[in-house]
Structure 1
Amino acid sequence: MSDDRRYDGDFREVTEDFSEPEEIEIIKESGEESAGGSSADEQADGSGDSPEETEKDAPDEKYCVICHRSSRKAGKLVDIPGGMCVCTDCLQKGFDTMQHSGINLNESFGIFPPFITSDNIDMDMLGTMHQPKKKKKTKPVKKLTLEDLPAPHMIKAKLDEYVIGQDRAKKIMAVGVYNHYKRILSEPAKDDDVEIEKSNMLMIGPTGSGKTYLVKTLARLLDVPLAMTDATSLTEAGYIGDDIESVVSKLLAAADNDVERAEHGIIFIDEIDKIAKKKNTNQRDVSGEAVQQGMLKLLEGSEVEVPVGATNKNAMVPLETVNTKNILFICGGAFPDLENVIKERLTKTSTMGFQSELKDRFDGDKDILQQVRMEDLRQFGMIPEFLGRLPIVFALESLTEDMLVEILREPKNAILKQYRKLMEIDEVKLTFEDEALHAIAAKALERETGARALRAIIEDFMLDIMYEVPKDKNIGEVIVTRALVEHKGAPKIIFRGQEYDLGS
């Protein structure tokens, strides 16, 4: 081996003339090792290079001054003054750190620091690094004005297109909403000392009677932000669950974080009966009476700080101040066993004598909830302070068989219209006999889940029809009969050009 030798930064012994096929000796700090070998550490982490790679790449090897990775591992490096190089990963981390520290790169350095120019950096290599994020274009929202506010009879007419029955409940809601928005949209006179109170509502009705659907339709009609939440998830502040202010943060999110628009929105709290006072309990009622007490200020109107984009407050989430003075609160609940409380009040008189009341007089009355009073709700478990902030209390009617039949076919998005649309895609006409509709309604009444049972019943007998019909392109019409609904027969099938009954 020649005496003219030099050492590179990795203590590799390299010959001056690479054309000579002489063996390359590698000298390690910890001792001698055989030629062409590698250390145990390099073998362990898989970073050891073969002698051929070392001999070929060592003279042109570049290393990042920050992470000390070679160009073979880090990719193409960026040259900076002083004979140093930086990999793109470290360069990106540096940019991110400066941005998080509040340094504006465009104002301080232009786009990049002064030592990085287009001459010594490959812009294609950086790709889309440091391109500003495009903001989503939001459609301009038209604010509700007093001139655009529909009258109560127009609100009820719109509700009639989607909700069957419940005329009294729709009138109460139409008048209450109309008065509420008149209150916040009208400009009070300077010498007027009269201040109109909020008209928060409490809806009572059995499950499936249309409480949630009424509120959804109302918010869509007025084009105001709507937040819907479940009272079962609310707990007193400091306990596991959603804080009471989370209902306001959901409304703020529904208004695209526009505080002014959110303050004119509607909050619907469902299952409000689940926060009634727990009876015969020896522990703190964090999800019952405590929630009612915490909601008093929200219902009456106060300024609360709510987190943006989250339901709980913490140091990493920004806060916005929202005034709930002009927010309409609508609470709804089924209030099970409230009928027994009303019956007990109505039958307090003696069962003997001329003015006696029979104990079973109201057992068959399905609309007994219409006779509800504040004292009944207090006995159920609602505190008087909470009920005092819900001045409008009304109950929805129980659904009858005729009402369920109308629900099947009358509304704009009726269930039958949805199934007909599905069959029309296959170019098949779907027809329901009147007796079949009454059979569906009768089955729904037996399940005691209101209008929610209709979809499940129809899906049960329509399964075979929707499975078999696409097989035969000659089928032109399917007629649903009462026998099919009761699982005692088959539907009538009309082929294109002739009629055929599967039950025959």
Structure 2
Amino acid sequence: MEFNQTSVEYADGRGRPVLEEMTPRQIVDELDRYIVGQKAAKKAVALAIRNRMRRQRITDAALQEEIHPKNIIMIGPTGCGKTEIARRLARLTGAPFVKVEATKFTEVGYVGRDVESMIRDLLMNAINVVKREASEAVEEQATKHTEERLLDYLIPDSRAESKGPSDPMNLFRAFSDLSKFGQQVQSGMQAEQEKQTASGEEEERRRRLRELMREKLRSGEMDRREIEIEVEMPGIPMIQLSNAPGGEDFDSQIQNMLGDMLPKKRKKRRVTVEEARRIIHQQESEKLIDPDRVQSEAIKRTEQMGIVFLDEIDKIAGRGAQGPDVSREGVQRDLLPIVEGSTVNTRYGAVRTDHILFIAAGAFHMSRPADLIPELQGRFPLRVELEKLTRDDFRRILTAPENSMTRQAVELLAVEGITLTFTDDALDEISAMAYDLNEKTENIGARRLYTMMEQLLEDVSFDAPERQGDDRNVVIDKAYVQARLKGIVENRDLSQYIL
């Protein structure tokens, strides 16, 4: 099967191919823009995403149903890029995505979240994505409706229907003298004609005023003006209904169900036109969106494109149940049917997990993947070991990614008018110190650089608003780095607490 690999521009005009057109190599190149190294892990997730596209293009429905995703376990020390790969992958794919920590879950029967809650979270993520897309589709229509409602609030209709001589019954009641009836009818008809003429002139004045106000609204001149609008309030207050395991999900579902059944309360609020536009636009968008179509599309995307990133899976490895903790093996067994493929009931409908991609990650310092129960091991057939970061990796992390730490520091201080510059020897020294510190103490990977950069720039950042003249040009060189960090790095006790 041939895939179209034509470059298609993103909405922001960056000119890179959209995901459906991307080859595995292009997916890896995209991840390289934010994550240093870890080629094996990037390759594995790129193939997993590409295989999902291949499956969706198979025309044989029966065969398509039989092809299941190959779940992945990423093994590597903390701070080496496991979570960042998943986070960037989610942004790249645009697919329903949820990141959960395995340590949050407890065995069924204990207080805590049950494993099915991650599928409910995944579906909620999909619903939000589909709602956002639907809102964009009706944006123009909702904007028009919002503008008309704002004009109604700004120019209220003060006309009131009056009942007077124009009403035949009132004429009979008002004039019992039959001899004067004809004269009164004629006078009433004349008054009615004058009233209609005045009404037409009033209507024309209102139309001109409305158009003038419309121009002011569009130009933003009315944004600071306050008006009184009606907003919908929840029909029932937030209450806790259950203390049972998974009770927070049960509470949420009951609240939503009752909220849909009970009539909405309306409350008047005095807000600026700018805020009113946002509130009314949201109300108008919701009126134009079909909730049933949103839910069905969200369930479809969750089942066919959903990605669950299960972090800290090594913390539930091990089969011992001694001690006060909940059995970790019990959590693993609860995960089995979800990962293998089952049906999870949600308030929006049943969700099948057969084709959801699960990516697990863990450092496995105190345990091994083999400590997971065999059934769960078999449901994660692909294992990728992430490499420990080297000095060169630390050096590249400081400068290579688009959102590198040095760039973030430069841009933050530029807000205060500070020109911050890092020399090459300073970056080399920071990298060497971070690597050595990870070797001597706990290895926390690239996260070590965050603590070192904060310690390095603490004084500059603190004094930034008061700096004047040449003091606003700050150069970070090797000598400055050594003066700020070397004493702490060499003192192991200090480095354990500060860095």
TM-score by length of 2: 0.55
In the other structure, the counterpart of 2:314 is: 273
Q: Alignment partner for residue 478 of structure 1, among 469, 474, 479? A: 474
Aligned partners of 1:166, 1:238: CA distance in 2, in Å?
40
In the other structure, the counterpart of 1:494 is: none
Aligned partners of 2:312, 2:63: CA distance in 1, in Å?
39
In the other structure, the counterpart of 1:454 is: 449
| 1:211-240 deviation line (CA, Å, top 9, x unaligned) | 010011111111112101110111111211
Tell me if the contact between 2:456 and 2:484 (Cα under 8 Å) persists in the aligned partners.
Answer: no
SS in structure 2 of the partner of residue 203 of structure 1: strand
Q: Determine if the alignment matches structure 1 residue 377 to structure 2 residue 417.
A: no
Aligned partners of 2:119, 2:62: CA distance in 1, in Å?
33
Change (3 A) 1:244 1:451: same
Q: For residues 58-207 of structure 1, what are the structure 2 equivalents within 5 Å?
A: 148-183=20-55, 185-189=56-60, 195-207=66-78
Q: What runs of 5+ residues in structure 2 fail to find an aligned partner? A: 1-17, 128-294, 487-499
- AA at the equivalent of 1:332: A
Change (3 A) 1:254 1:193: closer
Q: Determine if the alignment matches structure 1 residue 303 to structure 2 residue 343.
A: yes
The structure showing larger relative contact order (alpha-carbon pairs under 8 Å, at least 6 residues apart) is 2
| 1:15-68 deviation line (CA, Å, top 9, x unaligned) | xxxxxxxxxxxxxxxxxxxxxxxxxxxxxxxxxxxxxxxxxxxxxxxxxxxxxx
Larger helix share, 1 or 2 = 2
Aligned partners of 1:451, 1:393: CA distance in 2, in Å?
22
Tell me if the contact between 2:20 and 2:53 (Cα under 8 Å) persists in the aligned partners.
Answer: no
Aligned partners of 2:98, 2:20: CA distance in 1, in Å?
22
In the other structure, the counterpart of 1:418 is: 408
Shift of 1:284: 9.3
Tell me if the contact between 2:319 and 2:373 (Cα under 8 Å) persists in the aligned partners.
Answer: no
Q: Determine if the alignment matches structure 1 residue 407 to structure 2 residue 397.
A: yes
Q: Alignment partner for residue 357 of structure 2, among 313, 328, 336? A: 328
Aligned partners of 2:77, 2:461: CA distance in 1, in Å?
32
| 1:383-419 deviation line (CA, Å, top 9, x unaligned) | 1110111111111000011101100111011110001
| 1:116-173 deviation line (CA, Å, top 9, x unaligned) | xxxxxxxxxxxxxxxxxxxxxxxxxxxxxx9824210110010000001111221121
In the other structure, the counterpart of 1:238 is: 109
Aligned partners of 1:319, 1:391: CA distance in 2, in Å?
31
Aligned partners of 1:489, 1:244: CA distance in 2, in Å?
44
Q: Alignment partner for residue 119 of structure 2, among 248, 251, 266? A: 248
Tell me if the contact between 1:226 and 1:251 (Cα under 8 Å) persists in the aligned partners.
Answer: yes
- AA at the equivalent of 2:44: I
SS in structure 1 of the partner of residue 389 of structure 2: coil
Tell me if the contact between 1:149 and 1:178 (Cα under 8 Å) persists in the aligned partners.
Answer: no
Change (3 A) 1:190 1:162: closer
In the other structure, the counterpart of 1:72 is: none
In the other structure, the counterpart of 1:487 is: 483
Aligned partners of 2:433, 2:91: CA distance in 1, in Å?
32
Aligned partners of 2:449, 2:42: CA distance in 1, in Å?
22
| 1:316-367 deviation line (CA, Å, top 9, x unaligned) | xx463111112111000010045xxxxxxxxxxxxxxxxxxxxxxxxxxxxx
Aligned partners of 1:398, 1:245: CA distance in 2, in Å?
34
Aligned partners of 1:177, 1:417: CA distance in 2, in Å?
30
Change (3 A) 1:190 1:259: closer
Change (3 A) 1:399 1:471: same
In the other structure, the counterpart of 2:388 is: 398
Q: CA RMSD in A?
A: 2.6
Q: Determine if the alignment matches structure 1 residue 439 to structure 2 residue 429.
A: yes
From the CA coordinates, give the structure whose radius of gyration is larger: 1
Change (3 A) 1:285 1:296: farther
Shift of 1:425: 2.0
164-173 vs 443-452, greater mean Cα deviation: 443-452
Q: What runs of 5+ residues in structure 1 fail to find an aligned partner? A: 1-145, 307-317, 339-375, 491-504
Shift of 1:191: 8.0
Change (3 A) 1:320 1:469: same
- AA at the equivalent of 1:189: D
Superposition misfits of 4+ residues, deviation over 6 angstroms: none
Shift of 1:193: 9.1
How many pairs are equivalent? 294
Shift of 1:283: 6.4
Tell me if the contact between 1:198 and 1:300 (Cα under 8 Å) persists in the aligned partners.
Answer: no
Change (3 A) 1:331 1:283: same
| 1:451-477 deviation line (CA, Å, top 9, x unaligned) | 111111111121111222331331342
Aligned partners of 1:214, 1:268: CA distance in 2, in Å?
10
Change (3 A) 1:432 1:167: same
Tell me if the contact between 2:68 and 2:355 (Cα under 8 Å) persists in the aligned partners.
Answer: no
In the other structure, the counterpart of 2:152 is: none
Q: Determine if the alignment matches structure 1 residue 261 to structure 2 residue 295.
A: no
- AA at the equivalent of 2:36: I
TM-score by length of 1: 0.55
